[in-house]
Amino acid sequence: MEQIPPARRVIRLFPDYSRTYPLWETSTPTWDVGYTTTPETYGLSRELGEDLAGWQAFFETHCNPFEGWETGENWQRWLRNGEGLTQRLRAEVDHFADVEPEFGPHRR
């Protein structure tokens, strides 16, 4: 079956444990990208890819899956960085995809 991308792809941005990048995309019947994706999937700049990996690593280092963030300061820093990364990601993929950030206060 020929792979046909949707008219507008949707990249989801959120962290999860044991991941290198916080990038996800739901496949469609004609576009099987899997679920977890990488900067290479979207042709992102090396700098943005490295910054996304750093943001993910900060999350894993400072947010315990059972107890939450070790400090409110780290959580606020991570949120601010995530907002900036969202804007940068949108700028790099605007010609073919939308970005849905799925992080925020509920992750605290």
Q: pLDDT tens, 58-92?
A: 999 999 999 999 999 999 999 999 999 999 999 99
Per-residue confidence band for 108, with pLDDT thresholds at 50, 70 and 90: very low
Cβ–Cβ < 8 Å for 89, 11:
yes
Instruction: Give a yes or no: residue 4 inside a domain.
Output: no
Q: Is residue 2 part of a domain?
A: no
Q: Is residue 26 in a domain? A: yes
Range of the domain at 103: 9-107
Inside any domain, residue 67:
yes
Which of 103, 54, 53, 23 minimizes the C-alpha distance to 9? 23
**Number of structural domains found in the chain:** 1
Whether residue 1 is contained in a domain is answered as no
pLDDT mean across residues, the chain: 90
Q: In degrees, to the nearest 5, what angle opens at C-alpha 26 toward C-alphas 104 and 29?
A: 160
